[in-house]
């Protein structure tokens, strides 16, 4: 009885600790996502008009049908933001990230073959830090967290199938139906089915069932608001060049993501070390596990955005390998230091007291320093043109505004219908590729004709981050006049549209933040 109670207490304590850790990381590393505002606009349309916004209404450039893989997620995000504002969005991120960890733990409980406990706090501290360092868990809420949860669950279900529970395959198309209407990362579910089919074929085990399931999962893709055109868009967008975007760059190119690189080294070392120490025959290696790991390593090494999928995969497949190596070297250290085995429980107890003491100290300090209702304000004044847009709204400035794409989603949310944008972060979902290229050539001063975009489109206003070198070029143009200038942003309007007098914004930064979610999309 005592043993069962002790085990239950430890599990409950672990889950509480993991939640507090997740919450603390989420409020500490928390900024507003640049694309959040487009989510709110789509969500508003779904909730209010009970349909997706097929055609973009906030841009003045040429656009195609808005193929939005996150339309259903947008509806939930809008309802939460509408009622609970930024605090609600932060809590949504907390629960999504926590659900991601829970899905990993459930997988571990089912798949671990050794006596290794899946309740290892230090392991999840590292995963949290990895997700934060790669910027996956730093934004208030992003729909990709939904894909990470589905991906972990997908692996768990497929691993159960490998154990003989084939009836689970019947449910995968229904899961995909929900997944594909929540986030475009559902393509990962298709990919993993293909990898399992190849892996099981190489393992000389039944593999056709995965291909049959893949066929029905593929059919489900046609159940969406756009029909066959959406399916075409989904697969075509998988091959687009997004090298302009930070999250679609390699973690090696950026020269950061130290923890990711450490995890790669640990993965390779532990995998090979276990094979060598156990004298595992190369031919008997699980080909499915190996292929999935190699693909996740490839994708994460190519794109920062895929580090979340990589984290889910290694957490499930490599957990035992990591702790095999850990216990092996801890035993070597014990022998070297001549520590009796009978003392190990006492040492482990002291270690756990120290570890949990640090964790709870960190959580206490973080929760105190970063209240939920203000945590998402971090760097907001610098990250978004709060005062500049408030200045334009107060002075009733109207027209087509040319601004960096990553700021334009916010501008559209706050300024529509008075302000229409050139483009925002929806890129291939709404815009043609030349629209994006012309903006990037302009912002980065690429080519001799980078200023041509100013004459090609009917811009009335230009808003720029002052760090762009092109700001000085515009200041020299006679056709544009500067009407606003603060620490971070500058606003120009066409010479013929300049008013005689502009009122300075009377609102403080706190007042603007308190009305951050006020918009015509309500």
Question: How far apart are the C-alpha atoms of 441 and 456, rounded to whole Å?
Answer: 14
Note the pLDDT of residue 373: 82
Token pair of 122, please? Answer: 């230090």
Strand partners, 255: none
Phi, psi for 62 (deg, rounded to 5)? -70, 125
Alpha-carbon distance of 158 to 313, in angstroms, equals 13
The pTM assigned to this predicted structure is: 0.92
Residue 176: its pLDDT value, please? 95
340's tokens: 């009796």
Judging by DSSP bridges, how do beta strands 399-402 and 461-465 pair with one another? parallel
Q: How far is 354 from 336, CA to CA, in rounded Å? A: 23
CB hemisphere CA count around 88 (13 angstroms): 11
Distances (CA, A) of 257 to 117, 122, 247, 466: 28, 19, 12, 27
Residue identified by tokens 């997740």 is: 22
In DSSP terms, 463 is beta-bridged to 491
Rg for the chain, CA atoms, rounded: 26
Residues belonging to the chain:
522
Backbone dihedral region of 255: left (phi > 0), alpha (psi from -120 to 50 degrees) or beta?
left
Domain ranges, ordered by start, for the chain: 2-30+67-335, 380-514
CA 383 – CA 405 distance, rounded (Å): 13
Average pLDDT per run of 10 along the chain, which is 522 residues long?
A: 72 93 93 92 95 93 92 95 91 95 92 84 90 86 92 94 93 95 92 95 94 94 92 77 72 79 92 87 87 93 88 92 90 84 82 90 93 80 86 92 94 94 90 88 83 88 91 89 90 89 80 87 83
371 Cβ contact list (under 8 Å, min separation 6): 27
- What is the C-alpha to C-alpha distance for residues 190 and 192, in angstroms, rounded to an integer? 6
Quick one: pLDDT at residue 1? 61
């Amino acid at each position: 009885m005592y043993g069962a109670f002790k085990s239950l207490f430890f599990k409950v304590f672990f889950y509480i600790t993991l939640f507090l850790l997740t919450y603390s990381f989420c409020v500490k590393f928390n900024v507003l996502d640049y694309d959040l505002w487009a989510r709110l606009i789509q969500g508003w349309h779904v909730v209010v008009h009970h349909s997706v916004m097929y055609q973009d209404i906030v841009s003045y450039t040429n656009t195609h049908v808005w193929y939005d893989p996150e339309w259903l997620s947008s509806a939930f995000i809008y309802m939460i933001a509408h009622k609970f504002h930024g605090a609600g969005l932060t809590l949504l991120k907390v629960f999504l990230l926590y659900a991601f960890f829970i899905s990993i733990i459930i997988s571990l409980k089912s798949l671990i073959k050794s006596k290794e406990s899946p309740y290892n706090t230090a392991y999840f501290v590292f995963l949290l830090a990895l997700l934060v360092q790669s910027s996956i868990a730093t934004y208030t809420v992003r729909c990709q967290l939904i894909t990470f949860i589905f991906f972990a669950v997908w692996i768990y279900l497929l691993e159960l199938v490998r154990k003989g529970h084939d009836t689970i395959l019947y449910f995968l198309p229904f899961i995909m139906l929900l997944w594909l209407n929540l986030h475009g990362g559902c393509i990962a579910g298709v990919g993993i089915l293909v990898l399992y089919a190849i892996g099981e074929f190489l393992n000389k085990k039944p593999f056709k069932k995965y291909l049959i399931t893949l066929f029905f999962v593929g059919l489900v893709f046609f159940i969406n608001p756009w029909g066959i055109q959406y399916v075409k868009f989904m697969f075509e967008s998988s091959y687009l060049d997004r090298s302009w975007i930070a999250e679609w760059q390699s973690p090696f190119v950026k020269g950061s993501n130290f923890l990711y690189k450490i995890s790669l080294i640990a993965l390779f070392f532990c995998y090979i070390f276990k094979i060598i120490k156990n004298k595992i025959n190369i031919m008997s290696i699980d080909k499915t596990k190996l292929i999935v790991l190699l693909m996740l390593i490839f994708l994460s090494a190519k794109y920062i955005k895929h580090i979340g999928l990589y984290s889910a995969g290694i957490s499930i497949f490599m957990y035992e390998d990591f702790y095999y190596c850990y216990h092996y070297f801890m035993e070597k250290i014990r022998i070297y230091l001549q520590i009796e085995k009978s003392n190990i429980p006492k040492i482990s107890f002291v270690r756990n007291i120290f570890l949990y003491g640090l964790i709870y100290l960190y959580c206490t300090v973080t929760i105190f320093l970063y209240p939920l209702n203000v945590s998402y304000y971090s760097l907001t004044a610098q990250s978004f043109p709060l005062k500049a847009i408030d200045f334009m709204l107060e002075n009733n400035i109207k027209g087509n505004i040319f601004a960096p794409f990553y700021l334009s989603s916010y501008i559209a949310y706050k300024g529509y219908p008075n302000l229409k944008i050139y483009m925002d972060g929806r890129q291939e979902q709404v815009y043609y590729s030349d629209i994006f290229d012309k903006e990037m050539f302009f912002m980065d001063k690429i080519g001799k004709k980078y200023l041509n975009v100013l004459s090609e489109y009917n811009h009335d206003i230009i808003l720029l981050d002052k760090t762009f070198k092109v700001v000085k070029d515009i200041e020299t143009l006679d056709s544009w006049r500067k009407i606003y200038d603060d620490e971070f942003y500058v606003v120009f309007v066409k010479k013929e549209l300049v008013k005689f007098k502009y009122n300075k914004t009377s609102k403080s930064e706190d007042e603007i933040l308190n009305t951050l979610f006020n918009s015509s999309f309500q």
